[in-house]
């Protein structure tokens, strides 16, 4: 018997050894895929080099080929490489459409949309984005949500679907991404809808309104993101030679900057714009401030601009001085550029060393695994002998537990029978209670109607008045207030007209541009509800009510749009004796 067990143990040991040797000799592509995925967001250039070092991608398994296609496309796109075909990403889309997780499927469809949009196939790109939006519902990575929403916002905006565009950008901002995730993706560059600065034919009619709404979204961001978005728009306006708009955006960017070097850069840009606007008295002071920068590139550009202006004015001696300063800065710039190239070479060397170190770690891991397996095997034999020794005691304990379990099961069955006997009676009582509750509610509503009728001066009130009063009572009740705008708005207007000297008609006459939703806010405030109570009654958030109040104030001609001014305006309207 002992020989038999030893023979079985020896066979198991040989199988384990062969499996370890096979795993150590397999292709290194799988580990490089893992490293490429690891560096994708933080260092896409390193991810691209790692993936590009895989010698034979076509020899990978079907799943690994799909992963390779997706990661390589993402790395190339994030590194700025031009992708001339969607053949590579189609491998990932085809695989993840039927297999894999939702994150990879949504990412594959998103980057397919990017490629198709770059190739000018906007209809196919929009279809891919919509498929990605459908797939992203179960995705946990908020960065993928953000990229899909901004892509849909941008392509809808370019085709003048501004409301859809704003809704997608609002969804992207409502994700509340963490600062590291925002910076890793370059969120301030992706988020800005550059179609707002392209001067489309419908610009003066629609885009201006969209621009105002989008500024409301931008104001919710941190200062760094607002700075970069305003700077992008300033450059777009500068390219179109819209100097006033460019100066306005650039000044906004300067207001949000937090570094001295960035302010020097904006001074140089603003000097160029003011030169075209003819504000020569400000150009010199801005250039002098920009020359305090520690960047050779910025200083050289300022010296060059001063040299060109002096040369055009015929001041040759002064121009020569600045020309020499320009040459000195260029020499310093070339020196720093050489140092940058050296850093790149060192970075590549570090990458090669990293791969070599990974191979060493893999070899050490294999040896450690062999030792661990041998120790585990020996420990298993020891535990097996102990298990045989204590098996009889465990069987006795198991028999005892089975007897106890049988007794407990009998008790449970008895209790279950008693519960089933009383269950039918409890159900009948519950149904009778529900019927009585419904009758009670209907009686209370009828009592309110009769009380209102008996309190009025005229006993024979029309049905419209009674229904309007019923809606008013449903709103102001302290228990569970109820208000359905589509059904109850007309009845509430009728109540305000008969109880407050035709108040609703006066509001419509003074401000006919108010929407139904904006009228609801005014009506509910007049009947005595606070802003928080309005939000609870309408089933929306408090900030949604604040935005509606802001729009109402704008339509009423109130520039600030605060709650206090809204309240004051409603009280003035309540005191007004305008006749309808």
String of DSSP letters for 131-163: HHHHHGGG---HHHHHHHHHHHHHHHHHTT-HH
pLDDT score for 356: 54
- The residue ranking higher by pLDDT, 390 or 498, is 498
pLDDT score for 377: 77
Give dist(CA 164, CA 130) in Å, integer: 13
Residue-wise pLDDT tens digits, 221-273: 556 666 777 777 777 778 778 788 788 878 887 887 778 888 888 888 888 88
Consecutive H or E run containing 498:
helix 485-499
Give dist(CA 117, CA 125) in Å, integer: 5
Percentage of the chain beyond pLDDT 70 is 72
* Closest C-alpha among 525, 515, 520, 513 to residue 555: 513
Q: Are 549 and 566 a contacting pair, CB within 8 Å? A: yes
- Helix, strand, or coil here: 54? coil
With a cut of 70, say whether residue 441 has pLDDT above it.
Answer: no
Confidence band of 580 (pLDDT split at 50, 70, 90):
very low
Q: Which residues contact 127 (CB under 8 A, 6 or more apart)?
A: none
pLDDT score for 5: 54
């Amino acid at each position: 018997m002992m020989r038999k067990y030893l023979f079985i143990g020896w066979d198991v040991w040989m199988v384990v050894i062969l499996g370890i040797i096979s795993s150590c000799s397999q292709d290194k592509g799988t580990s490089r895929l893992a490293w490429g995925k690891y560096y994708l967001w933080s260092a896409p250039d390193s991810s691209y080099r790692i993936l590009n070092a895989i010698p034979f991608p076509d020899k990978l398994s079907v799943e690994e080929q799909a992963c390779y296609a997706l990661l390589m496309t993402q790395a190339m796109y994030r590194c700025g490489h031009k992708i001339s075909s969607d053949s590579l990403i189609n491998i990932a889309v085809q695989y993840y459409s039927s297999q894999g997780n939702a994150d990879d499927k949504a990412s594959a469809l998103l980057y397919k949309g990017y490629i198709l949009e770059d190739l000018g196939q906007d209809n196919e790109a929009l279809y891919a984005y919509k498929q990605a939006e459908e797939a992203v519902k179960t995705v946990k990575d908020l960065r993928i949500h953000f990229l899909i929403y901004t892509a849909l916002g941008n392509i809808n905006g370019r085709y003048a679907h501004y409301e859809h565009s704003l809704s997608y950008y609002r969804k992207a901002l409502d994700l509340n991404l963490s600062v590291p995730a925002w910076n890793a993706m370059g969120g301030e560059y992706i988020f800005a809808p550059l179609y707002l600065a392209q001067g489309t034919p419908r610009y003066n009619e629609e885009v201006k309104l969209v621009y105002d709404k989008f500024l409301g979204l931008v104001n919710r961001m941190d200062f760094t993101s607002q700075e970069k978005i305003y700077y992008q728009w300033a450059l777009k306006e500068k390219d179109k030679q819209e100097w006033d708009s460019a100066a306005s955006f650039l000044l906004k960017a300067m207001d949000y900057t937090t570094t001295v070097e960035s302010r020097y850069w904006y001074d140089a840009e603003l000097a160029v714009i003011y030169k075209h606007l003819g504000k020569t008295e400000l150009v010199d002071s801005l250039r002098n401030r920009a020359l305090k920068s520690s960047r050779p590139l910025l200083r050289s550009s300022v010296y060059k601009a001063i040299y060109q202006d002096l040369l055009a004015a015929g001041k040759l001696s002064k121009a020569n001085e600045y020309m020499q300063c320009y040459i000195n800065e260029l020499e310093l710039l070339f020196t720093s550029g050489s140092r940058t190239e050296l850093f790149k070479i060192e970075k590549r060397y570090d990458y090669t060393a990293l791969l070599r170190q990974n191979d060493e770690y893999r070899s050490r891991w294999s040896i450690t695994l062999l030792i661990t397996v041998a120790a585990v095997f020996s420990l298993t034999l020891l535990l097996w002998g102990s298990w045989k020794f204590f098996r009889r005691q465990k069987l006795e304990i198991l028999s005892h537990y089975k007897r106890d379990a049988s007794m407990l099961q009998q008790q449970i069955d008895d209790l279950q029978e008693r519960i089933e006997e009383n269950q039918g009676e409890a159900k009948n009582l519950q149904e009778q209670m529900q019927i009585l509750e419904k009758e009670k509610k209907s009686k209370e509503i009828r009592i309110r109607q009769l009380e209102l009728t008996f309190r009025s001066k005229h006993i024979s009130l029309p049905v419209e008045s009674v229904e309007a009063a019923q809606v008013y009572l449903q709103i102001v009740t302290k228990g569970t207030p109820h208000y359905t705008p589509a059904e109850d708005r007309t009845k509430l207007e009728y109540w305000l007209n008969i109880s407050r000297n035709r108040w609703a008609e006066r509001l419509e006459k003074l401000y006919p541009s108010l929407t139904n939703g904006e009228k609801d806010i005014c009506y509910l405030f007049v009947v005595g509800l606070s802003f928080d109570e309005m939000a609870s009654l309408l089933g929306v958030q408090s900030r949604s009510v604040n935005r509606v109040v802001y729009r109402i104030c704008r339509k009423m001609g109130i520039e600030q749009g605060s709650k206090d001014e809204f309240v004051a305006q409603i009280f003035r309207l309540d005191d007004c004796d305008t006749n309808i």
